[in-house]
Structure 1
């Protein structure tokens, strides 16, 4: 009787940010943002067809926060029924077993690669974070010389050898003479 209501609701999808094959975990990892709704122009039927083909190019409203982001930020948008949960940490999708890594909200709009954080979430679940190794590598290979700092001692202008001798302590009579000039 109420099937006509379900037809007009936006399709609900699982939002996948990135897919990885991590050797250190010996598993394929699915970086999951959570559930969302495919919204935007066009009919609900057309959006469902585009999602089934993997061609949806519209807005996604994330269920947890209500934030609306564009579909191009995500690797895949999977209809809710296509993702089979085996337990809290594993899912089956496209006839493959995946380990789930939850993506925090700060990473949803991040356009770079994600990596697994050392810390684990509740019940041993994995947490994704931004991969900063690219930035660290760029900073470590900078060709700019380190700034030089020089300490100039208060000595007579004609005493050039003494000016660049940083290892010896200044003569007390020169310090006394400089203090009397003030």
Structure 2
């Protein structure tokens, strides 16, 4: 009866964005959003059958579990003092995935943390394929003209003549204004 009154206990989990040979790209500790009972939900998480939402940390952001390679019950991932975790009978290095990469669908790369605070590794998006396609050595196709995209004037128009015409027009206007005043 108390369970009905106070609701179900939340199931805490870890969201693993990517699993490399020796590195787990770990997003954040979260809570699983589901209508399943806690025991059934834990079984689904352990069997990699969960497809619902994960409330990420304290941010209030709810992401679909399909964005992650694994959503693991909190008790199944043990962290040690060296920044390593034990999961599925192995020790893994951890790369922290920043919030802006939680929804990235491409590959992640781990690099040393430049701040030397927190985890030793930080994940970032692998943009090497984009860099390969944007080869800086090849010339641009065709002729390149730098000007405003929505310019209304013809770039070949003689600006000096236009300025002189405008000045004559203003002088005539001032003359008429004095005359008819």
Q: Does residue 14 of the first structure (1) align with residue 14 of the second (2)?
A: yes
Q: Detail structure 1 runs of 4+ shifted over 6 Å in the superposition.
A: 2-7, 141-144
- Determine the structure 1 residue equivalent to 2:95: 101
Aligned length: 144
Counterparts in 2 of 1:108 and 1:51: CA distance versus 1, 3 Å = same
| Matched residue SS, 1:72 | helix
Work out whether residues 7 and 44 of structure 1, in 8 Å CA contact, stay in contact via their aligned partners in 2: no
What is the CA–CA distance in structure 2 between the aligned matches of 1:142 and 1:77, rounded to whole Å? Answer: 43
Change (3 A) 1:3 1:43: closer
Gap regions ≥5 residues in structure 2: 146-181
Would the aligned equivalents of 2:109 and 2:125 in 1 still touch at CA under 8 Å?
yes
| Counterpart among 124, 129, 148 of residue 124 in structure 2 | 129
Contact 1:88 1:125 in 2 (8 A): no
Cα offsets for 1:116-164 (capped at 9, x unmatched): 23543415621100000011112129987544569xxxxxxxxxxxxxx
Q: How does 1:39-118 map to 2 (within 5 A)?
A: 39-118=33-112
CA separation of 1:148/1:92 partners in 2, compared to 1, >3 Å: closer, same or farther? same
Give the distance between the partners of 2:106 and 2:54, measured in 1 at CA: 19
Q: 2:40 aligns to what SS in structure 1?
A: helix
Moved more, 101-110 or 137-146: 137-146
